[in-house]
Structure 1
Amino acid sequence: MTFWYKLLIRLAIPLVFIYLWLRGAKAPAYRKRWAERLARQNVPAQARDGLVIHCVSVGETVAARGLIESTLNVYPHLSVTLTSMTPTAAEMAYKLFADRVFHYYLPIDTPAAVSRFLDKLSPRLIVILETEVWPCLVEQCRQRDLQMLVVNARMSERSMKGYQKYRWLLGPIWQKLDFVAAQNEVSAERFLSLGVPSDMLAVRGNLKHDFQIPEHVQHEAKRWRDTLSRPVLVAASTHDGEDAQILEAFKVTLKQYPQALLILVPRHPERFDAVARLVKQQQFNLVRRSDKQTVQSTHQVFLADSMGELLLWYAVADVAFVGGSLIERGGHNPLEPIATKTPVVSGMNVFNFDEIYARLKAAHGVQMVANSEELADIWCTWLTHPEQAAACAEQAFNEFANDQGATATILEDIKRFLPSTETAGTVRTMSMIKTINPNSNTEIWYDPAILDDCTTEHFEAGYWQRLNKVKGSATGRSTAFFVDAGTHGLLLRHYYRGGLVGKFNKDRFKREPIASSRAMAEFSLLLKLRELNLPVPRPVAAQFTKAPIWGYRADILVEVIPGAQDVFKLLLQQPLTSAHWQLLGETIRQLHDAGVYHSDLNCHNIMLDDTGKCWIVDFDKCGFRAFGEWREANLQRLLRSLNKELTKAKEANQAFHFDETRDWPLLVQGYGASL
């Protein structure tokens, strides 16, 4: 991505909102949810740490339905967020998946908006449908080591030339993707020419070939056909400039088949009213889907002004015209009417789907027309000779009958980049966490598998003391309390400032997004670490509280590790065995191999339980990092803490059973590799 792109995309922000406002004059949904266009919306905690699947518009959302369903089944413990650019795609997402997914608009591709978006959702993986690749999004994902896959990807010759022409502006975006699953060999060759590495590219087929007609759609279509009992034509995904031609063709058809019904399905909802006016101006007897009236024998045109029912209308019709093809729009995908075995008619302008239409023409599975006269002629011919229409539909269906399997192979690609957890039934993730707001200044996250309810009192030592549930405390920078909560022992910790700042500001931190605040960040990190089977305590609850005037305060509850003592206390009592020192090194290496950086690795934060298992605790300000010199720095920090406690013990004339020359090589040996 170039400086000029960043500058131009920022300058384009006012133009985007002007466009949304003008578009909203006909489609009011474009004037809503504007905060999402800059990623300034509130995102619930449950949406974090999952998958993001981007389907720019309705077509991609419908195409991805099977893949999304499979993803929900494979990752039941993770949230799935669908993003799009259009309100119609948002409506389709809600219609298909309801509350099983979250939905947001993908923000305008500025560095700040994309950064906010990724901060709020903190996804594990981003999957892009087709070619909706944005430079700032690609760059931010690369900086965060967040993998991005482009699947069901198609690249027309026109689009390829456009990307090549503006490479100076967009930068090397295609080289920075982690994987591209192309629809066909032709698209794959074009992606290679744009710079996608060959080892990150594969041909996986088209998701729409896997399209299955739901049983309820088949039953509903049969009911409509039985009720109508008349010739039915459908003109689907039509654009401005086509409807008049279609109506002209239908006038001619009515002369031969006066009982025929035309189902007209405009591509964009904001055109519904304009198309209705055009139909009336042409003096057709109109009924609209939104009128919720029964279609009478006198009705000639049925305006399908609804979303998500296109498949039904294809299944009802005797012949299907696929729009966007009588004008310079490039056509739309004909695979849905092929799946319903509805004969397909198309205009000549199909460059967006040239490979599919080339196969259809070679198999005699489509009829191409240049104008309204030719459209009327084929409509009348096929209504007169239904056996010809049926043969065309069968040839089209057979041409793509062996092309299924894209959903399964793409799902395997996703699992390769994001392995499904074998213990998904027992792990806890952010999608399972409950969120409450006791007041306007406080947010609490808690695990309902441990606490039936959680209030602000759960973070007050006095509350537990009144219940006589405090069983001890641990001192350090501050006091942490051990609480008996029935079947679970809990550790309550308030976050305090350290160093010089702590002298005059005991426990306030600079205001930041709740999900990034100290307690919430540690809570969500611990969930991830436990999902990776790392030896860390189980998070129970976390609290964020706005402080008066400035800053916030934070608290966390974690599960106590039964029978565990920290290494500092153990060394006050006796030396550790060689096996114990090696175990410490092995455990630290386990975290480092997972890319986990511990900001304060010391002998107080490493524990051994009475079964001999090693644990690491206190993950405030910790996180994941790419491999680097920080691993050696982690070990050196631990060594300094051991020597510091040894020095203090000597000064106090106390025993501290640590000998660097004897013990440290054993820990390094357990760590087991040179850094």
Structure 2
Amino acid sequence: MNRFTYTIVWYCLLPIVFLYLLKRIIKDPQYKRGFWQRLGFIPKQYKPCIHIHCASLGEVNAAAGLIQQLIETYPDSSILVTNSTPAGATRIDALFGTQVLQLMAPIDLSIFVNRFSRKLNSKCSIFTEVEIWPNWLASLTKQQTKLMLVNARLSDKSYRNYAKWGSVFKHAFLRFDWITAQTQNDLENYQKFGVNRVSAVGNLKFDIQLPQTLSQQTLDLMQSHQLNRPIWIAASVHPSEYQIIVQAHLALLKQIPDALLLIAPRHKERFDEVAEYLNSENVNYQRRSRQQAVTQSDHVWLIDSMGELINFYAIADIAFVGGSLVAKGGHNPLEPAALSKPILMGPDRVNCEDICRMLVQAGAMFDVDSAVSIETRLMDLFKSENHYHQAALAANKVVMQNQGAVHSSMNHIRNILG
């Protein structure tokens, strides 16, 4: 398939794309944000800027350290971030405020991306992870924009999938002035497409920046809710996953009656759904959004808020990372690892398999696949102080030993910008 055929496919899919956006807007009004920007209508002509594209929340969190370095290294240049989801955009607002400009990314059709790229006027556009948009990249190339792909992933499976598309993605990869891959295997898969301007520098996610206020926020939470009890968190959980988590906790309560579960759904539209399930199971719980104190009679704290997850990782003793008991590929376990928390994850970890392999080999992460295995592993960690501390120290050690990708990526950006 060439880019012309790819574009025809996009035009055929455009009504479906608009219906999808309409459905999301009805369910979540935040999807109205930047709607016209998705069609290439930018309100003004920007001065030459450094542009970085982070699709959603996970990519923003991974690239946060790199964005901060760009702000500090190029104080005379505007830093402009594009996102594909309102969750990513909201996270950019929370992390950087007015230090950066923010726009929603255009739909990958020439009629939209050409208009967008002219107004964007970037001297360098940095894409993250697996964000490969052939028409947008072609448009930026016409504008003589330097292009870079950072924190790039290309698993063996992804390589085979891209190869099925013929030349369209090969030509897209070759447009980049440099690619910084996460692993040697990723690098070798890019080279199979004829890419030579590529290096393996590690994963940006290891260069995690913990908020300076985290210690005080953690202390405030512990004191205001009297949380001197065994606590575990199930973070970023999905439907068909939170039910398993709650059942595991109910079993745990028979052995550790004062244990507290913090459960944080991945998407806010699931908050009420999880609350209804807790009601159906006759579980005593509090909702974070109600700002009421958690008491000893509460067995679950439903984290129905956004942007606070790291605070709740910090107060927990053990972390389960979601999207791994269902077919979602698993979410990033490095925040709890950086906070020295033993980690539980299910078998579906394709989105972070290299990170998980390191944590498992170090003895910091444990495999679970059911309510029974979760309860068994929790019991082991809560009851064995020695085992708990070994896992906690190992988790932090893995993070510390694999940092440096931000520094290496910045060196390549400097070379490109001159």
TM range (shorter): over 0.9
Question: Which residue of 2 is the match for residue 223 of structure 1?
Answer: 220
Instruction: Confirm or deny: 8 A CA contact 1:26 1:271 kept in the other structure.
Output: no
Residue 6 in structure 1 maps to residue 27 in structure 2: no
Opposite residue 222 of structure 1, the aligned amino acid is: L
Question: Shift of residue 195 of structure 1?
Answer: 3.0
Q: Secondary structure at the match of 2:326?
A: coil
User: Aligned-pair distance for 1:83?
Assistant: 0.8
Q: Distance in 2 between matches of 1:195 and 1:286?
A: 56
The 1:298/1:27 distance shift into structure 2, 3 A limit, reads farther
Shift of 1:217: 0.8
Q: 1:272 to 1:351 in 2, by over 3 A?
A: same
Checking the alignment, whether the CA contact within 8 Å between 2:206 and 2:334 is kept in structure 1 is yes
**1: CA distance, partners of 2:350 / 2:33:** 33
Contact 2:117 2:143 in 1 (8 A): no
How many angstroms apart in 2 are the aligned matches of 1:195 and 1:218? 48
Q: Distance in 2 between matches of 1:168 and 1:418?
A: 28
1:24 and 1:31 in contact (8 A); partners too? yes
Q: How many Å separate the matches in 2 of 1:119 and 1:131?
A: 24
Structure 1: which amino acid aligns with 2:155?
A: S
Q: Which has the higher helix share?
A: 2
Three-state SS of the structure 2 residue aligned to 1:194 is coil
Name the structure 1 match of 2:28.
27
Aligned to 2:114: 115
Paired residue for 2:256? Answer: 257
The code of the aligned residue for 1:265 comes to A
Match in the other structure for 1:73: 72
State the SS of the aligned residue for 1:12: helix
**TM superposition shift of 1:170:** 4.3
Structure 2: give runs of 5+ residues left out of the alignment: none
Check the 8 A contact 1:135/1:171 in 2, yes or no.
Answer: no
CA–CA distance in structure 2, aligned partners of residues 13 and 111 of structure 1: 13
TM-score (norm 1): 0.60
Counterpart of 2:116, as a letter, is F
- Determine if the alignment matches structure 1 residue 370 to structure 2 residue 369: yes
- Deviations for 1:589-616, whole angstroms, at most 9, x for unmatched residues? xxxxxxxxxxxxxxxxxxxxxxxxxxxx
Whichever of the two has the greater Rg, that structure is 1
For the 8 Å contact 2:141–2:175, the answer to whether it is kept is: yes
Does residue 308 in structure 1 map to residue 298 in structure 2?
A: no
4+ residue segments displaced more than 4 Å: 168-171
Q: Which has the higher contact order (CA 8 A, sep 6+)?
A: 2
- Tell me the amino acid that sits aligned with residue 62 of structure 2: A
Q: CA deviation at 1:89?
A: 0.7
Give 1:50 shift: 0.6
Q: Secondary structure at the match of 1:332?
A: coil
Q: Give the whole-Å Cα distance in 1 for the aligned partners of 2:65 and 2:236.
A: 22
Greater shift, 167-176 or 7-16, is seen at 167-176
Structure 2 residue 293 is matched with structure 1 residue 294: yes
**Quick one: structure 1 residues 169 and 77, their matched pair in 2 at CA, closer, same or farther if it must change by over 3 Å?**
closer
1:64-463 alignment runs, 5 A limit: 64-167=63-166, 170=169, 172-197=171-196, 200-226=197-223, 227-419=226-418
The question of whether the paired residues in 2 share the 8 Å contact of 1:92 and 1:307 is answered with: no
C-alpha displacement of 1:406: 1.1
Q: How far, CA to CA, are the matches of 1:119 and 1:135 in structure 2?
A: 16
Q: Deviations over 1:280-326 (max 9, x none)?
A: 22222232222222222222222222222221111110000011111
Distance in 1 separating the partners of 2:168 and 2:272: 39
Pairs within 5 Å for 1:482-493: none
Distance in 1 (alpha carbons) for counterparts of 2:212 and 2:144: 42
Kept in 1: contact 2:170–2:193 (CA 8 A)? no
| Residue in 2 that maps onto 1:52 | 51
Q: Structure 1 residue 18 and structure 2 residue 15: aligned? A: no
Q: Secondary structure at the match of 1:374?
A: helix
Secondary structure, aligned partner of 2:87: helix
**Is 1:38 matched up with 2:39?**
yes
Say which SS state the counterpart of residue 137 (structure 1) adopts. helix
8 Å CA contact retained: 1:324, 1:332: yes
Q: 2:3 & 2:222 partners in 1: Cα distance? A: 56
Partners in 1 of 2:63 and 2:269 — Cα distance?
24
Matching residue's letter, 1:115: N
- d(CA) in 1 for partners of 2:188, 2:19: 38
- Cα deviation digits, residues 469-498 of structure 1 (max 9, x gap): xxxxxxxxxxxxxxxxxxxxxxxxxxxxxx
**Count of residue correspondences:** 415
Q: CA deviation at 1:169?
A: 5.3
What displacement does 1:363 show?
1.8
Is the Cα–Cα contact under 8 Å of residues 2 and 171 in structure 1 kept in the other structure? no
Counterpart residue type for residue 207 of structure 1: L
Give the structure 2 partner of residue 588 of structure 1. none
Distance across 1 between alignment mates of 2:297 and 2:32: 38
The residue type equivalent to 2:19 in the other structure is I
Q: Identity of paired residues, percent? A: 34
Distance 2:364 2:86 in 1: 34
Deviations 1:449-485 (CA, angstroms, capped at 9, x unpaired): xxxxxxxxxxxxxxxxxxxxxxxxxxxxxxxxxxxxx
Distance 1:212 1:321 in 2: 21
Counterparts of 2:412 and 2:170 in 1: how far apart (Å)?
Answer: 26
Instruction: Name the SS for the 2:243 alignment partner.
Output: helix
How far apart are residue 31 of structure 1 and its match?
3.7
| Contact 2:285/2:298 (<8 A) preserved | yes
CA 1:283 to 1:42, structure 2 compared with 1: closer, same or farther past 3 Å? Answer: same
- Native 8 Å contact 1:210 1:404 kept in 2: yes
8 A contact 2:38–2:104 mirrored in 1: yes
Q: CA deviation at 1:160?
A: 1.8
| CA drift at 1:368 | 0.4
d(CA) in 2 for partners of 1:168 and 1:70?
35
Alpha-carbon offset, residue 171 of structure 1: 5.3
Q: What is the distance in 2 between the residues matched to 1:239 and 1:358?
A: 22
Between the aligned partners of 1:373 and 1:61, the Cα distance in structure 2 is 34
Does the 8 Å CA contact 2:235/2:264 hold for their aligned counterparts? Answer: yes
SS for the counterpart of 1:124 is strand
Aligned-partner Cα distance in 1 for 2:303–2:79: 30
Q: TM-score, normalised by structure 2?
A: 0.95
The amino acid of 2:219's aligned partner reads K
RMSD: 1.7
CA 104–173 in structure 1, closer or farther in 2 if over 3 Å, else same: same
The change in CA–CA distance for 1:273 and 1:168 in structure 2 (over 3 A counts) is farther
The alpha-carbon deviation at position 168 of structure 1 amounts to: 5.0
Counterpart CA distance in 1 for 2:33 and 2:74 is: 31
Please tell me the residue identity of whatever aligns with 2:199: A
Residues in 2 aligned to 1:202 and 1:408: alpha-carbon distance in whole angstroms? 13
Question: Do 1:184 and 1:205's aligned partners in 2 also have CA atoms closer than 8 Å?
Answer: yes
1:320 corresponds to which letter in structure 2?
A
Measure, in 2, the Cα distance between the counterparts of 1:160 and 1:171.
10
CA contact (8 A) 1:88 1:307 kept: no
